[in-house]
Structure formats: structure tokens, C-alpha cells
């Protein structure tokens, strides 16, 4: 646990009692603060009270008379589409609003670090897609090369639930726009921006607000190194804003598909990763050997992870060796079975159009299971990538409407995962891939994308016997 610094002897309010809120309350108490908590869910409040936490209705302005700060869980809207009543009440009372990420950055460093030979470092990863894979890959590479590392944030443990830093330790954080948007302290040593595409637009009142939330990771704290994916205009803009010129090696530009040679760059082309510094190639990796990172989108993740590890002094050979043993993450281009020449891949985490498009580009002949709770913007961006699709099998309550948008591809309305898998397995031919990449949220049929991916895997195993 990371005891929260700066609030000893003060009352701090915590809104939301999921994993994040409960860890924040415990870390505040460990740092000498008195947490008071609230959740809209009555069962959550009852559980918290049974565990000895002090409940207080934080939707009332008078509840903040003795409160030093309000700590908000990431799933709770603080501005758009409308601020939660408790947050509005805190504003009215003049109480600062923060989140667990802000608490982490103000509390992680301690006086014990003065005795360390090597100061601990924090690598923070954000972007629209690939955050989890990039963060997990960085952690894997560090661990395989003997560096003490912890994985936290949206993946692994909660940021305040990790262990205090050891000498030379590295914390790898995956941070969503919900987390970067509200944190009052954002000071990573290395910040990574993977890529950018529309997502969470209701929460950020549009594309500009969403990008602004991502940009805060780089603008607020000024990382020593910024690793920026430049395959979209937003990434090129961000890299330009952070850089003092083409040779400024505080900014490492990365790409999947483009050759980059000015300054410090890492890019992947034709399944080969290359590192250039001052116009010269200084490292290369054959990504074809790495089964846990298929497709151009994963090659972009590999570039980001490689660059992050290079900033910490790891050599290309050590990074390459570790990448070869990377097993991949569940529900992210996860190979779940292979039989009679047909590969079965679970990419349930492809919850938006951009991530699904990248999954479709990773394979040649695809039996595509897709559909669910469609996000804003429609499916138009997927249409250029349907040439790899032999047939689509559409699931979800909106399956008919989803299928109608897939112009140029044969689509069968299956509605359920069971029916989609049965049809895909029955029709798949050797050399094809049965791919779950929904391009939609899961909440019409499942609690989360993990449950959806688990169902796909179970149905595949049952169908294959």
C-alpha cells in the first residue's frame, strides 16, 4: 500500500466504493487521514459500513464543512455529460476534487529514496487503444531483464494498493482518459501516448475534450521522456508541442507503418521494428517471431514498449529476448485454439471501431464475430477493412441494425454468442481465422468485455470438442 501523504489529521471524502474507492480510503487512513465515504449503491454503502468505514452523504454541501478534499472514482462523471451531485456540492463548498492517480503521484516518493542507489521510476501509458498490452509488455520486459517492476492502474493492481518502491523499482501505469482528466498531480518519468481514435465522447463532450484529457499526462507534469505515436494527427500535434526541434531526444516518435528517421524514433514496417537515433539505425527486432503480438496494432504496442524500456537503459537484445516470451493478454488478440488449420482468436477488448479495424488488419481470411452495444459514430471506419472478412456473424440485441451497416460483406444475424460460434466453426475452412472483435461495448448482453471473451472461449472449446 502507498500511504497517502499530505492529509494527516484531516478528513478526506471518498466518492465511489469499488476497487479504486476502497483502496483510496485504506491508503488515506494509512497516511493518517480520516476518510468518510459515499456510494450511490445502498449495498455498497452497507458493506463499507460493516467494514468500519464512516458513511457521509456527500451530495449535500454541508457535508464538506470539515473536508480537505474529495477523491472520486474514475467511473463517476465529474463534468460531462453532467457532474455527479456530490462533485457539484464539493465545488460549491470550495473543496478540491481529485482522484487516486493524483494521490499516488503526490505520495509515491518518500524520504527513504535518499538512501537508494537508483531512484524509482514511473512509466505512464495512455492512448485510445493498446494501453493494456503496452503496459503489460513493458512490465514483462523489465521483469525478464531483472528490473523490479509493478503493474498498476487500469491493469494489475490499484495504484494505491501497490507496494512501496524498492531501490531501482519501476511502476508501470495504464491510465484512461477518466483518470488523466481529473488527477491534480501527473508527474511520470516516462509518458506514453499510443494512438488516438474516437471513444468516450459523451464523457468528454466530444473529440476535443477526449484529446485534452489524454494530453494532460504530458502537459501537467512534464515527463523526462515522452513517447508519442504519430500515426494520427493528434499524435503529431502532441509530439510537435513537446519537442524543441527534430533532434530533441526528450520526445521519441513511434509508428506502425511509417519510416521515421529524424531524432529518436522507433517504428515497425513489414514486421520489423527499427530504432533510429540521429539518422542511424541502432536496433532492430524481427516481430514475426513474437506470437503474442500479431498484427500492425500490436507492432505499434511493441514500438512503444521498446522505446519506454530503452529510456531506462535496457539494450535491444535484452528487450527482443523478453518480447519473444511475451504471452499476450487475455481478450486482446488472444489465441485460444487451433484445429484443422483454423485459428480461433479472442479480441473481446476491441470495443470500438478503431480497435476492431486493427484486429481485422492482423489476419487475411476472417470469420468475424462482431456486434454489441454500438458506440457513437457508426461503423463507416470499418468498411475499408472488410476485404479480409469472409463472413460476419453478428451478435447483440442490435444485431440487425449492426449487420445492415456492414456493406460489402456477407453478414449473418446470430444474436447470441452460442449461435455465432456454432455457425463460424461449422463454416470455417483451413487457413481462416475465427475472430471475436466486436467493435462494440458488451453491456447489452454481458457485464463487461471479459465476460464476453470468456463466453466466446467456452463456446469455441465446446464446439471443437
Q: Using one digit for the tens of pLDDT, what is the confidence trace for 273-314?
A: 999 998 899 999 999 888 888 888 899 999 999 999 999 999
The Cα–Cα gap between 272 and 88 comes to 51
Q: Residue 376's pLDDT is what?
A: 77
Taking residue 20's Cβ as centre, other Cβ atoms within 10 Å add up to: 25
Q: What is the largest CA-CA distance in the chain?
A: 68
- 11-98 sits in which CATH class? alpha beta
Question: Any idea where the domains of the chain sit in the sequence?
Answer: 11-98, 103-324, 334-464
CATH architecture of structural domain 334-464: Alpha-Beta Complex (3.90)
Query: What residues pair up with 280 in beta bridges, in sequence order?
Result: 277
For the segment 44-51, the average pLDDT, to the nearest whole number, is 95
- What does the pLDDT look like over 347-359, one tens digit per residue? 999 998 988 998 9
Query: What residues pair up with 227 in beta bridges, in sequence order?
Result: 192, 252
Query: What residues pair up with 286 in beta bridges, in sequence order?
Result: 272
pLDDT band with cut points at 50, 70 and 90 for residue 167: very high
Superfamily of domain 103-324: Mur-like, catalytic domain (3.40.1190.10)
Q: Residue 292's pLDDT is what?
A: 85
Q: Which three cell numbers stand for residue 220?
A: 501537467
pLDDT band with cut points at 50, 70 and 90 for residue 131: very high
For the segment 10-35, the average pLDDT, to the nearest whole number, is 96
Cβ-proximal residues to 362 (8 Å cutoff; 6+ apart), any chain: 294, 295, 296, 297, 298, 333
Q: Residue 365's pLDDT is what?
A: 96
Percent of the chain with pLDDT over 70: 100
Q: Residue 436's pLDDT is what?
A: 98
Given strand 411-415, what is the order of strands in its sheet?
334-339, 342-346, 433-436, 366-370, 389-395, 411-415
Q: Which of 65-74, 122-131, 372-381, 437-446 has the lowest mean pLDDT?
A: 372-381
415 burial (CB, 10 Å; 0-12 / 13-18 / 19+) is middle
Tell me what the pLDDT averaged over the chain comes to: 95
The Cα–Cα gap between 254 and 27 comes to 36
pLDDT at residue 66 tops 80: yes
Q: Report the sign of the C-alpha dihedral through residues 225, 302, 295, 269, in that order.
A: positive
Give the phi and the psi of residue 39 in degrees, each rounded to 5.
Answer: -150, 145
pLDDT at residue 461 tops 90: yes
User: What does the angle CA 51 – CA 57 – CA 58 come to, to the nearest 5 degrees?
Assistant: 110
Q: Residue 344's pLDDT is what?
A: 96
Cβ atoms of 45 and 39 closer than 8 Å:
yes
Cβ atoms of 74 and 47 closer than 8 Å:
no
Backbone dihedral region of 145: left (phi > 0), alpha (psi from -120 to 50 degrees) or beta? alpha
For the segment 234-259, the average pLDDT, to the nearest whole number, is 95
Rounded-to-10 torsion of CA 168, 227, 334, 342: -140
Do 103-324 and 11-98 fall under one CATH topology?
Answer: no
Q: Which three cell numbers stand for residue 26?
A: 485504506
Closest Cα partner for 425 from 334, 336, 356, 342? 342
Q: Do strands 280-286 and 272-277 pair parallel, antiparallel, or not at all (unpaired)?
A: antiparallel
- What does the pLDDT look like over 314-344, one tens digit per residue? 999 999 999 999 988 889 888 899 999 999 9
pLDDT band with cut points at 50, 70 and 90 for residue 189: very high
Q: What is the pTM of this model?
A: 0.86
The Cα–Cα gap between 460 and 454 comes to 10
Q: Which three cell numbers stand for residue 389?
A: 472478412
pLDDT at residue 207 tops 80: yes
pLDDT at residue 61 tops 80: yes
Amino acid at each position: 500500500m502507498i500511504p497517502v501523504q499530505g492529509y494527516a489529521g484531516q478528513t478526506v471524502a471518498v466518492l465511489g466504493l469499488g476497487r479504486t474507492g476502497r483502496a483510496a480510503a485504506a491508503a488515506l487512513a494509512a497516511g493518517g487521514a480520516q476518510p468518510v465515504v459515499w456510494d450511490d449503491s445502498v449495498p455498497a454503502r452497507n458493506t463499507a459500513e460493516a467494514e468500519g468505514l464512516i458513511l457521509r452523504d456527500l451530495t449535500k454541501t454541508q457535508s464538506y464543512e470539515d473536508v480537505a478534499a474529495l477523491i472520486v472514482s474514475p467511473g463517476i462523471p465529474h463534468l460531462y455529460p453532467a457532474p455527479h451531485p456530490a462533485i457539484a456540492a464539493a465545488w460549491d463548498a470550495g473543496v478540491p476534487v481529485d482522484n487516486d492517480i493524483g494521490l499516488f503521484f503526490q505520495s509515491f516518493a518518500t524520504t527513504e529514496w535518499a538512501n537508494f542507489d537508483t531512484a524509482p521510476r514511473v512509466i505512464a501509458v495512455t492512448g485510445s487503444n493498446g494501453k493494456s498490452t503496452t503496459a503489460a509488455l513493458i512490465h514483462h520486459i523489465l521483469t525478464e531483464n531483472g528490473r523490479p517492476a509493478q503493474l498498476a492502474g487500469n491493469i494489475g493492481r490499484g495504484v494505491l494498493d501497490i507496494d512501496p518502491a524498492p531501490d531501482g523499482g519501476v511502476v508501470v501505469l495504464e491510465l484512461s482518459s477518466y483518470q488523466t482528466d481529473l488527477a491534480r498531480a501527473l508527474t511520470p518519468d516516462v509518458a506514453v501516448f499510443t494512438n488516438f481514435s474516437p471513444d468516450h465522447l459523451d464523457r468528454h463532450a466530444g473529440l476535443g475534450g477526449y484529446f485534452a484529457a489524454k494530453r494532460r499526462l504530458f502537459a501537467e507534469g512534464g515527463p523526462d521522456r515522452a513517447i508519442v505515436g504519430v500515426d494520427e494527427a493528434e499524435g503529431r500535434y502532441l509530439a510537435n508541442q513537446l519537442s524543441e526541434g527534430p533532434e530533441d531526444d526528450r520526445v521519441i516518435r513511434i509508428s506502425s507503418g511509417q519510416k521515421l528517421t529524424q531524432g529518436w524514433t522507433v517504428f515497425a514496417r513489414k514486421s520489423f521494428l527499427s530504432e533510429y537515433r540521429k539518422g542511424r539505425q541502432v536496433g532492430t527486432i524481427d516481430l514475426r517471431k513474437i506470437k503474442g503480438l500479431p498484427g500492425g496494432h500490436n507492432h505499434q504496442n511493441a514500438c512503444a514498449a521498446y522505446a519506454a524500456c530503452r529510456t531506462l537503459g535496457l539494450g535491444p537484445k535484452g528487450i527482443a529476448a523478453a518480447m519473444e516470451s511475451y504471452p499476450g493478454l487475455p481478450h486482446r488478440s488472444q489465441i485460444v485454439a487451433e484445429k484443422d488449420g483454423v485459428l480461433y482468436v479472442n479480441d473481446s477488448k476491441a470495443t470500438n471501431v478503431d480497435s476492431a479495424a486493427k484486429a481485422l488488419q492482423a489476419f487475411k481470411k476472417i470469420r468475424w464475430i462482431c456486434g454489441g452495444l454500438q458506440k457513437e459514430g457508426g461503423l463507416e471506419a470499418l468498411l475499408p477493412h472488410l476485404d479480409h472478412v469472409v463472413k460476419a456473424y453478428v451478435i447483440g440485441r442490435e444485431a440487425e441494425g449492426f449487420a445492415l451497416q456492414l456493406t460489402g460483406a456477407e453478414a449473418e444475424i446470430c444474436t447470441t454468442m452460442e449461435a455465432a460460434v456454432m455457425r463460424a466453426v461449422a463454416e470455417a475452412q483451413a487457413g481462416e481465422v475465427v475472430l471475436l472483435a466486436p467493435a462494440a461495448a458488451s453491456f447489452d448482453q454481458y457485464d463487461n468485455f471479459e465476460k464476453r471473451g470468456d463466453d466466446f472461449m467456452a463456446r469455441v472449446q465446446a464446439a471443437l470438442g
